[in-house]
Amino acid sequence: MTLLSYLHYNPSKSLLFQRFCSSSRIAHKLFDGSSQRNATSFINHSISESLRRNSPAQALSIFKESIQLGFCGRNVDEVTLCLALKACRGDPKRGCQIHGFSITSGFTSFVCVSNAVMGMYRKAGRFDNALCIFENLVDPDVVSWNTILSGFDDNQVALNFVVRMKSAGVVFDAFTYSTALSFCVGFEGFHLGLQLQSTVVKSGLESDVIVGNSFITMYSREGSFRDAKRVFDEMPVKDMISWNSLLSGLSQGGNFGYEAVVVFRDMMREGVELDHVSFTSVITTCCHETDLKLVRQIHGLCIKRGYETLVAVGNMLLSSYWKCGVVEAAKSVFYEMSERNVISWTTMISAYKDDAVSIFHMMRLDGVCPNEVTFVGSINAVKCNEQIKEGLKIHGICIKTGFASKLSIGNSFITMYAKFEALEDAKKAFDEIHFREIISWNAMISGFAQNGFSHEALKMFLSAVTETVPNEYTFGSVLNAIASAEDISLKHGQRCHACILKLGFNSCPVVSSALLDMYAKRGSITESEKVFNEMSGRSQFVWTSIISAYSSHGDFESVMNSFQEMVKENIAPDLITFLSVLTACNRKGMVDKGNEIFNSMTKDYNLEPAHEHYSCMVDMLGRAGRLKEAEELMSEVPGGPGVSMLQSMLGSCRLHGNVKMGANMAGLAMEMKPELSGSYVLMYNLYAEKGQWEKAAEIRKEMKKKGVRKEGGFSWIDVSDTESSLTMQGFSSGDKSHPKSDEIYRMVEVLGLEMSLERKVAV
C-alpha cells in the first residue's frame, strides 16, 4: 500500500501524522505528491527536517508513531535507523530501544547502522558498549574506526589504537588524522604525529584544511612554533580555525607575544572574520605595563565588534588590565560585564588583595560557587589579625563544600594559621589533607620555625623524611630552626648537612645559605667558610650570608674583604648586605668607614637606607661620642626615630654622661611607649651615675605610678654532659619555679668557682 492510499483510508491517522509535519513546508510538498513516493522516503525526510531544525524529540516522535501506525515494517531502511539514533543525542534509554529494534529487524548487518549505534553509546557515556559492538564487526569501515578513536580519553590508549588502525590497513580520512593528532601529546605522541604527517601526502590530504589545522595545533602544543607557522604558510586554503589555531598556540607559548600580535594584525589585514577565540588569544599576550596601549586598542575593537559582552572576552580583558597595573580599568570591565562567572570573580580577588575577602563574600551572594583557585586567593588575602575571623569563615565554607582536603587549599590554611601563630589550627588543617606532598610538610616546618617552635619544626622534619623526599625549602626551614635554637644539638644540623650532600642540594643557593647561617649562629664559622668555599656561582644571597656570618662573629676584616670581593665580581649588595657591613663597623668602632659605607648606599647603589640602617649608624656615632652627629642623623630618619633608636641614643648619652640630651631622648621614648621599662631604667642609671639622686628617685616614682616593672634577665646554661638535643636550659634571675632549678644554680656556682680560679691563675 502506498502512503497516499494509507492516508486516504486512515483519515484520523492522517491528521495525527500532519501534526508532526505541519511546521515543514518541504514535508507538505512531499505529502502533496506522495503518490510517487513510498512511506520510507517520506519518514526519512520528516525526521531529517526535524533534526535540521534542532528538534530531536519531534524526530523521535515521528519515528515512534510511524512504527505504531504500521507503515514502517518492510519499508523501513537503514537510513531511518541512523537518523533515529542520531536523534537520541546520548539518551541511552531510547538508544537501547532503537538498537534492539535494529537487531530484531535484521539491520545490524548494515555497517552504517552499527556505526550509528556505536556513536549513540559513545555520546551516552557507555563507551564499553560501543567498543564491544566494534570488536564484533565483521568488516568495519573507516567511520567505524573513527567512531571508536574519538571516544578514547587516554592519550596512550588512543595512540595504540591508531597504530592498530595502520596495521589493519585502514585508509585514513581527514577526520581520522584530525582525531589522531589531537592525541599526539608528549615525546612518544609527537613522534607518531610526525609519522602521520609523512602519510598525509600519500593519502592526498595535504591540502585539506581540517588536517592542516590539526597539525598547527599539534606543533603549537609541543612548542614547535616554527613548524606550526610552516604548516600554516603551506596551506593553500585557510579558514578562521587555521588562523585561530596559530594565534592561540603563539599566545600560550609564553615568549611569542609579539608574533601573536603580528598574526592578529594579519588576520585583520586579510579580512578574516574575528571571533571570541581570536580576541581572547591576543589579549592573553598582554601582561605587562608596556602592553597597556595595545589592550585598550583591542578593547575598543571588541566593543566595535560586539564581543565585549561575552564572559570569556570580558575575563581576559579583566585579567590583562590587572596584569598591566591598571586595576581601576579592570574594575570598570568587571562592573560592565552582563554575566560574570567564577573566573571573573577570582580575577578580581587576585587584583584587589586588600578587599579580596569582601569580594569573596559578594561572589557567593551573587550565586557563584568558588573553585579551588578562588579559595586559595581568598585565604592568602587574610593578612592581619582583624581578618582571622574571616579566615575561619572561609575555612568553614571549604569544609561544607568539600574543598578542605584539596592540597593547595590545605597548604594555604596551614600558612594562614601559622602566620597568626595558631599552630594547633595549622596542624588540624595539615591533618585534613588526605594526600600530602612535600609542600604541606614545608608549610608546617616553616610555620613552627618562624614562630619559635624549633623542636616541633625538627620533629616535623624527621616525620617528613620518612614519608616523602625533602626539597631545598624543607632543608632551608629546618636549618633555620636549628640555627635559632641553642638547645638543639648541632649534631642535628650536621645530619641535615649529610642528607643535603646525599640528595645533591649542596649546590642550591637557598640550602647553602641556610647551612652557612646555621653553622655561623651555632659558633662554627670554620664550617660556614667551608660551605661557602665549596660553592660555585655564588649569588647575592650567598655573599650576604657569609658577610652576615662574619659580622655576627665580629670579624671586621673578613667582612670588609668579602664585601670588596663581592663588589669586584659585579654582584650588587642589597639592604641586608649593607646592614651586616654597618653592624661590623659598629662593633669595631670604625665610624668613618661606617659613614662611607652608609653614604655609598644612595650614592653608588641607589638604595634608600631603611630604619635599621639609620639605627645602626646612630648607635655607631653615639658610642663614638659623636652625639651631635647622631642627633642630626636621627632627624633625617623617614617617619622619625622609633623607641629602639631613642633607647640606643639614651644609652650613648649615659656612656658619655650627657644628661640633657639623655633626658630629651628618654622623654620621647617614654611618650611613645610608656609601658616599656628600658627607657626608665637607662635614665635612672644616667641620673644615678651623675649623682642626681632626686631626679633618679622621680624616675622610680614615675615607674611605680604607671605600673612599669623592670624586666628580669634571662640566661641559658648547659646542665648535662650528654649530647642530647635538650641539654640547654633557660632561666631567669631568682627564678625557683624551673623544674631543674637546683641543677641550674649548682652549675652557676661551679662556673663562678672556675672563673675565680682562672683569675687567680692569670694573676
What is the Cα–Cα distance from 200 to 177, expressed in whole angstroms? Answer: 8
pLDDT digits (tens, 9 = 90+) for 277-300: 999 999 988 888 888 999 999 999
Q: What integer pLDDT is reported at residue 695 of this predicted model?
A: 86
In this prediction, the residues of the chain whose per-residue pLDDT falls under 70 are 1-39, 69-76, 254, 710-714, 716-739, 756-763
What is the Cα–Cα distance from 719 to 389, expressed in whole angstroms? Answer: 44
Q: What integer pLDDT is reported at residue 45 of this predicted model?
A: 84
What is the Cα–Cα distance from 174 to 599, expressed in whole angstroms? Answer: 72
Per the structure block, which three cell numbers stand in for 446?
A: 616553616
Beta bridge partners of 730: 716
Q: What integer pLDDT is reported at residue 728 of this predicted model?
A: 62
Q: What integer pLDDT is reported at residue 531 of this predicted model?
A: 92
Q: What integer pLDDT is reported at residue 569 of this predicted model?
A: 92
Q: What integer pLDDT is reported at residue 25 of this predicted model?
A: 47
Beta bridge partners of 718: 728
194: burial class by Cβ within 10 Å (0-12, 13-18, 19+)?
middle
Q: What integer pLDDT is reported at residue 712 of this predicted model?
A: 59
What is the Cα–Cα distance from 65 to 272, expressed in whole angstroms? Answer: 47
Which residues, including other chains, have CB under 8 Å from residue 721's CB and lie 6 or more apart?
A: none
Concatenate the DSSP letters of all residues of 257-315 into one string.
HHHHHHHHHHHHHTTPPP-HHHHHHHHHT--SGGGHHHHHHHHHHHHHHT-TTSHHHHH
Contact 640, 631 (CB under 8 A): no
- The CA distances from residue 533 to 151, 185, 240, 527, 565, in Å, are 59, 45, 60, 10, 13
Hey, how many other C-beta atoms are within 10 angstroms of the C-beta on 380? 16
CA pseudo-torsion sign 486, 487, 493, 496: negative
Contact 187, 222 (CB under 8 A): no
Contact 430, 436 (CB under 8 A): yes
- Per DSSP, the three-state class of 55 is coil
Hey, how many other C-beta atoms are within 10 angstroms of the C-beta on 592? 9
pTM for the complete prediction? Answer: 0.67
The count of residues in the chain is: 763
Per the structure block, which three cell numbers stand in for 759?
A: 683569675
CA pseudo-torsion sign 211, 215, 220, 226: negative
Which residues, including other chains, have CB under 8 Å from residue 166's CB and lie 6 or more apart?
A: none
Exposure letters 518-553 (e unless 16+ CB within 10 A, then b): bbbbbebbebbbebbeebeebebebbbbbbbbbbbb
Phi/psi-derived region of residue 589, left when phi > 0, alpha when psi is between -120 and 50, beta in every other case:
left
Contact 89, 60 (CB under 8 A): no
